[in-house]
């Protein structure tokens, strides 16, 4: 295999998804960028939609600075952090660092960021000047808000005349109050007492009714405050609330003690759902899609790890996290106090130079099953076809082989690297210059199982395949996966429109993808007739929309990987030359073929 290479120093760590047989994972690029000393809070911002530039700001508590970066996506390397000035724009350079006393939390705020500062009892608005969808300048505005402000959130207030103004809700931990700030005028317009203070990096969210949800981290309560009336509305008991977010009609609240996120409908305070996150979370960012489903999770825990729904990255002293809002590429940024750095984390997609399909239906999206017959279409570097001539099937034909399983790693120097440790060579039925027919080995299950193609000239290709317990596919008379099925009538003649089956007769359906059998038949070996290898999962057969009685389901004796189902044609099925036939097993449905019934 020719590895992908990169000049960027990074590591990739996969969050491993456990399966019944083998562990496989997805892969993430983690790009490290220097920040100030001991960065804490971090936030991302897109200055205009849908194509505006993205920026990242981080609060460096150790040297009283805020770092500003421009975020860019590289197809080969994932998200990268660059100096904030866009060299293509005719403007003065934008500073990459700003002086802010003891910065703590950072949140997006209009076309900029709001930074809380406990030492100065203030918040600082880092306001970007935007031109043609990118920042061309920046300025600071500092506003005193009250003692020990740690958490803040920005929102747009629309008054009775219809005019809008940018405001911020700021929790002052020192006096357990909430300050409402007009950012344009730089003044505190109201103060709400008796609001347990928040020490969370993202401890305030403002819902659609302009009610602030304040995570009282030490008070074990979330307080709801009507911002327009400057009045406390309600209190929700939550053990150590450490993060709140607003999503459409819902607000999520993360608990550091229970390691859960609870989603509330803010209109009636009803619980929509509760789900778990990493143990002992320190910061949580969980953007949701418009349908209310989590797109990507980023959670820092007290072991210095960044955990997502498919991600774990070990970062020393990890604390602040912020998801980069994108539907297509799950990504996040995170701060590390111990390394004085910010990390951009991006899912890395393994190139797929070839695909694997069910050997009967030729469907690729559903995956394949252990013991099933499968096909791949790839350049094998052969000059002519080479069928297998013996049983058990060979694992090498004319220098071509397929290895299933093993592990894939991703390093800065070598890109994707395959290790065959734990892999199994697949039995081969047939190879030609563009196609390989093989049997999937037993004992391997997973969503992203590595598969390596060794070609006749010694080169190799690497891809992944989804292997499920059962993936049924019915063979057809023509090798297309549709049309007349490979079905024998009760008298063992081929079912065709000119040779139909009768109602009430028994037909033999030939398929693949049943999964496990009892007894187990070794991959590549022919099934015995005594004892018969019966499928553990029993199929449901549908003929013309009617459920057919199944009399036998097992491997066809004398063949490798060929599944035979004997079924009774329903007595009330509609007659015709193209009656539909399909089957379901293990929650998976086969392709639809046809039979003739008279």
Parse the chain into domains and list their residue ranges: 35-142+285-349, 145-276, 356-467, 473-597
Token pair, residue 419, equals 């290790």
Question: Would you say residue 314 has pLDDT above 90?
Answer: no
Q: Tell me what pLDDT residue 328 has.
A: 67
Please list the residues that pair with 436 across neighbouring strands: 376, 431
pLDDT level of residue 171 (50, 70, 90 thresholds)? very high
Q: Tell me what pLDDT residue 166 has.
A: 94
Return the closest-CA partner of residue 68 out of 89, 53, 78: 53
Q: What is the CATH number of domain 356-467?
A: 2.60.40
Q: Tell me what pLDDT residue 21 has.
A: 30
User: How high does pLDDT run on average in the chain?
Assistant: 87
| Cα 427 to Cα 518: distance, rounded to the nearest angstrom | 20
pLDDT level of residue 27 (50, 70, 90 thresholds)? confident
Q: What is the CATH number of domain 473-597?
A: 2.60.40
pLDDT level of residue 291 (50, 70, 90 thresholds)? very low
Sequential DSSP letters for 340-352: TEEEEEEEEPPP-
Span 315-360, pLDDT tens digits: 778 889 898 866 667 788 999 999 999 998 887 778 889 999 999 9
Question: Would you say residue 20 has pLDDT above 50?
Answer: no
Q: Tell me what pLDDT residue 31 has.
A: 86
Query: Is 473-597 the same fold as 356-467?
Result: yes
Q: What are phi and psi of 116, to 5 degrees?
A: -85, 150
Span 144-158, pLDDT tens digits: 999 999 999 999 987
State the burial class of residue 531 (Cβ atoms within 10 Å of its Cβ: 0-12, 13-18, 19+).
exposed
Sequential DSSP letters for 449-464: EEEEEEPTTS-EEEEE
Q: Please tell me the pTM assigned to this model.
A: 0.72
Token pair, residue 382, equals 């052969």
Q: What is the CATH number of domain 145-276?
A: 2.130.10.10
Span 510-523, pLDDT tens digits: 999 999 999 999 99
Return the closest-CA partner of residue 465 out of 485, 436, 486: 436
Q: Which residue has the higher pLDDT, 92 or 43?
A: 43
Look at 248-252, 260-264, 304-308 and tell me which has the smallest mean pLDDT: 304-308
Asked whether 557 and 526 are in contact (CB, 8 A), the reply is yes
Q: Tell me what pLDDT residue 17 has.
A: 21
* β-bridge pairing 177-182 and 446-454: unpaired
Which H helix or E strand runs over 508? strand 506-512
Return the closest-CA partner of residue 42 out of 346, 345, 342: 342
Span 358-404, pLDDT tens digits: 999 999 888 999 999 999 999 999 999 999 999 999 999 999 999 99
| Length of the chain in terms of residues written | 598
């Amino acid at each position: 295999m020719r590895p992908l290479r990169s000049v960027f120093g990074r590591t990739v760590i996969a969050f491993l998804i456990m399966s019944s047989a083998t562990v496989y994972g997805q892969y993430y690029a983690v790009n490290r960028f220097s920040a100030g000393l001991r960065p804490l809070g971090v936030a991302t911002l897109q200055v205009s939609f849908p194509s505006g530039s993205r920026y990242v700001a981080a609060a460096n508590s150790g040297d009283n600075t805020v770092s500003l970066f421009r975020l860019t996506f590289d197809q080969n390397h994932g998200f990268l952090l660059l100096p904030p000035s866009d060299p293509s724009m005719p403007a003065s350079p934008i500073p990459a660092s700003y002086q802010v006393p003891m910065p703590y939390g950072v949140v997006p705020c209009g076309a900029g960021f709001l930074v809380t500062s406990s030492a100065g009892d203030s918040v600082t608005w880092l306001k970007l000047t935007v031109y043609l969808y990118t920042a061309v300048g920046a300025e600071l505005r500092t506003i005193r808000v009250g003692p020990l402000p740690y958490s803040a959130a920005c929102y747009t207030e629309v008054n009775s005349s219809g005019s809008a103004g940018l405001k911020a809700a700021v929790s002052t931990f020192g006096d357990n109050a909430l300050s409402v700030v007009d950012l344009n005028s730089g003044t505190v317009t109201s103060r709400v007492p008796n609001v347990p203070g928040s020490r969370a990096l993202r401890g305030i969210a403002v819902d659609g009714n302009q009610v602030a949800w304040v995570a009282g981290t030490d008070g074990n309560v979330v307080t709801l405050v009507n911002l327009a009336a400057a009045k406390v509305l309600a209190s929700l008991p939550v053990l150590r609330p450490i993060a709140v977010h607003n999503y459409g009609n819902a607000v999520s609240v993360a608990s550091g003690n229970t390691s859960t996120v609870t989603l509330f409908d803010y209109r009636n305070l009803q619980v929509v759902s509760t789900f778990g996150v990493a143990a002992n979370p320190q910061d949580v960012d969980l953007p949701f899609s418009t349908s209310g489903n989590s797109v990507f999770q980023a959670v820092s825990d007290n072991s210095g790890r960044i955990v997502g729904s498919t991600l774990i990255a070990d970062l020393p002293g990890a604390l602040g996290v912020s998801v980069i809002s994108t539907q297509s590429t799950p990504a996040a940024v995170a701060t590390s106090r111990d390394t004085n750095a910010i990390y951009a984390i991006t899912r890395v997609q393994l190139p797929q130079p070839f695909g694997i399909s069910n050997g009967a239906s030729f469907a690729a999206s559903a995956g394949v099953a252990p013991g099933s017959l499968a096909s791949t279409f790839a350049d094998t570097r052969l000059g002519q076809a080479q069928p297998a001539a013996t049983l058990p099937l060979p694992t090498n034909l004319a220098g071509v082989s397929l290895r299933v399983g093993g592990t894939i790693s991703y390093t800065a120097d070598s890109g994707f690297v395959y290790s065959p440790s734990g892999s199994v060579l697949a039995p081969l039925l047939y190879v030609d210059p563009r196609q390989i027919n093989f049997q999937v080995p037993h004992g391997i299950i997973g969503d992203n199982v590595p598969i390596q193609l060794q070609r006749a000239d010694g080169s190799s290709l690497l891809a992944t395949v989804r292997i499920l317990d059962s993936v049924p596919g019915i063979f057809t008379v023509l090798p297309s996966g549709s049309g007349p099925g490979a079905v024998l009538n009760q008298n063992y003649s081929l079912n065709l429109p000119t040779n139909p089956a009768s109602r009430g007769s028994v037909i033999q359906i030939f398929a693949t993808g049943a999964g496990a059998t009892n007894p187990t038949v070794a991959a590549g070996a022919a099934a015995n007739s005594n004892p018969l290898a019966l499928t553990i999962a029993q199929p449901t057969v549908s003929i013309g929309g009617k459920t057919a009685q199944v009399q036998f389901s097992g491997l066809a004796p004398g063949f490798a990987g060929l599944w035979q189902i004997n079924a009774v044609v329903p007595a009330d099925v509609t007659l015709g030359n193209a009656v539909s036939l399909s089957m379901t097993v293990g929650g998976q449905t086969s392709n639809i073929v046809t039979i003739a019934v008279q």
